[in-house]
Amino acid sequence: MSKSNGFIKRLRKIRPIPLIEAVLFSNEDPSKVSLNDIAMYLNFKFGIKLTRQAIKKRFNKNATNFLKQVLEGLLHSNLEDKVPVFSHSCFERITIKDSTCNQLPDHFKSVYPGSGGSGSKSAVRIQFEYDLKNLKVLELSVSPFNHQDLHNSKETISGVRKNDLVLRDLGYISLEVLKMIDASEAWYISRLNPNISKVYDAATGKLLDFAKTEQYMRRNNLSLIEKEVLLGDEKYKTRLVLELVPDEVKAGRIRNAEKYAKRKSRQIAKQRKAKFGLNLFLTNCPSKMIAAGEVRRIYGIRWQIEMIFKAWKQNIQFHKIKKMSIDRYEFLLYSKLIVIMLQWKFYQIMDIISYAKNKRRVSLLKIYKAFGLIKEKFISLLRGDKESARDIIKRLLDACNSYILHDDRKGRINWRSAQII
């Protein structure tokens, strides 16, 4: 692979794996890795003697393209084992998607422009989508920060399949996207985007008055209702689930909105303020498929993707970046994404085994921490030692009963919330 894309044109002192290993593991703090660290690591671990200048030249577009090719191969090498947790689900896939962003040094702004204004001049956005039902990663991609989630949603809508259940944050949702998911014969659960200002009651054809609806619910002690509604000028028909929130939650939302509006010298519209007292969810799933009382609970599992990002930052630390060349940064970033995907494979295996044995799933945060404790085995795996893969699985299995299982806590939404679907 490295020869086919020009990363290695002839037999050299250094091959891809030693360079990847040195970039990742030559310093405990990834924000402080220097060319000298890499040079020393290559010398001590592989007997390779290269100057810092020679190493610097290895970081180029061909090297980055090679790593992208490796990552793409990992993304398409999912296990074929059926995950038993949702084996009776009516959905083919349960897809969850979100992005995480990292600020970068300002001199990267020509390649990775940030938000501009008072925000960061340079930042990177990493998109991640996976299928909760089958534990398959569907997307892991890198883009500039200003390539917003909604743009990504429209660009990748062709990946939505018939009978998928799509769970995404507001940033990915517009009326156009909802209609496209529907047209794909897939299902969605989403919060109502505030930008969709026209919401009509399908029964009356009139604009829905959220203030009056909230007052009606409080007056009649109704914590939850649902309505068939029409959205936008196109009058797109869908199902709206309205859930009252506690007074203190409503007050907190209003305070936060007022602070933001004051900074932007704006006013909050009356109808928007009325929505702060309600949780509003849209779904094209009929009530016989998902009851109104289950909509928020199922949508809540989308939050687990934040735990994935937390695990990456705690244990892979890809958000720590020092000043370096753009080619060297991309080599480091894609090397870390490759490690993330390799570790995901082990998580996938352990989750399947754990549920099959004792009907419990493993904790993603705990298993990523475990990888940090067996780093030497993981390095051997990168070097191609197949026995290391078996040893990693054995060690994780030994720890499975006591140390890396998911803890179910009262009141916390977790993967069990989706078992009903």
Q: How far apart are CA 241 and CA 283, in angstroms?
A: 8
Q: At what angle do helices 16-25 and 375-382 cross, to 10 degrees?
A: 160
89-306 is a CATH 3.90.350.10 domain: yes
Fill in the DSSP letter of residue 314: I
Q: How far apart are CA 42 and CA 383, in angstroms?
A: 13
pLDDT attached to residue 258: 81
Q: How far apart are CA 168 and CA 194, in angstroms?
A: 15
304, containing H or E segment: helix 304-311
pLDDT attached to residue 260: 75
One DSSP character per residue, 123-141 reads EEEEEEEEETTTTEEEEEE
User: Among 209, 222, 215, which residue's Cα sits nearest to residue 277?
Assistant: 215
Q: At what angle do helices 326-358 and 364-373 cross, to 10 degrees?
A: 120
Q: Which residues contact 263 (CB under 8 A, 6 or more apart)?
A: none
pLDDT attached to residue 8: 78
Q: What is the CA radius of gyration of the chain?
A: 24
Would you give per-residue pLDDT tens digits along the chain (421 residues)? Answer: 888 877 877 666 678 889 999 999 998 877 788 999 999 999 999 999 999 999 999 899 999 999 999 998 888 876 666 665 666 678 889 999 999 998 888 889 999 998 776 667 899 999 999 888 887 889 999 999 999 999 999 999 999 999 999 999 889 999 999 999 999 999 999 999 877 878 999 999 999 988 899 899 999 999 999 999 999 998 999 999 999 988 888 888 888 888 877 776 777 776 677 788 899 999 999 999 999 988 988 888 888 788 888 888 877 777 778 888 999 999 999 999 998 888 888 888 888 888 788 777 788 888 888 888 888 888 998 888 889 888 988 888 888 777 887 776 655 555 555 555 6
Sheet (strand 199-201) strand order = 136-144, 123-131, 93-103, 164-168, 187-191, 278-283, 236-244, 224-231, 199-201
Domain segments of the chain as ranges: 89-306
Q: How far apart are CA 404 and CA 359, in angstroms?
A: 14
Strand intervals (E) in 212-277:
224-231, 236-244
